[in-house]
Amino acid sequence: MILLDGKKTSEAIQSEIAAEVVKIKEQGGKAPHLAAILVGHDGGSMTYVNNKVLACERVGFDSTLLHYETDITEEELLNKIREINEDANIDGLIVQLPLPKHINPNMVLEVMDYKKDVDGFHPVNVGRMVAGLPAYLPATPYGIMQLLERYNIDTFGKHCVVVGRSNIVGTPISILMSKCTNPGEATVTICHRNTVNLAHHTRQADILIVAVGKPGLITEDMVKEGAVVIDVGTTRVPDATRERGWRLRGDVDFEKVAPKCSYITPVPGGVGPLTIAMLLKNTLRAAKKEVHS
């Protein structure tokens, strides 16, 4: 069994990005610039956005953090996004979710210039991904594809079972795994809350990707020998032995499932660290106009 080390892979990707930024500056170009909008004071969101800003600093990006109170109106927020759309100095834009209930996240997404949508959630980017055109890919699926590629995991003709159909992870990774790419060329089954006899499907998986947020959902008897298991789940569960009183647990019962696997991601330290790295990768691509000329 080999651990898929997301932390190590993320560090390698960020080092590659930093080296490329140095070359861009040496050639007289400007550093990529990421803008982030945060509304309110949700602790998790604030931590996540601050980590993105720090990551920008590490790789030599410029960054702008726009922090608004929860009473900002929808129209005020939309107007700010329109302003950023027109700012040629800003290459990428993210709007941290969740937003207050009076702001429609779909409106926010559709007003955003899809050429700056480095989260990869805009309908145009989703459509381009489905069509096999260059697109900004959602960060978590993008990170999974990087893990598979960098560990030279063969996906050609393999049976990939995805548990979870969210627009953020499950649906996009199922599309990417079925494409004529490397990684890719897999036969994909998508399972969800209404799937009958989930274990029947997971036991057939050469590559099992789980993203539902239910700790320990996938047990030893649900995984076949030699499978590749990608666990996207990160749920806080009580743990009296930890000073903070909790720990992160994945959707897979790691201790019992890992011995059966050829490769498996740990939680934490698997897919999670790659999310910000792939956001940075998308921002670099935006600055270089690689996706939308």
Residues annotated as part of the active site = 52, 96, 119
From first CA to last CA, the distance across the chain in angstroms is: 43
Distance of CA 180 to the CA centre of its chain: 21
Q: Which two tokens stand for residue 26?
A: 């040496």
Distance CA 134, CA 137 (A): 9
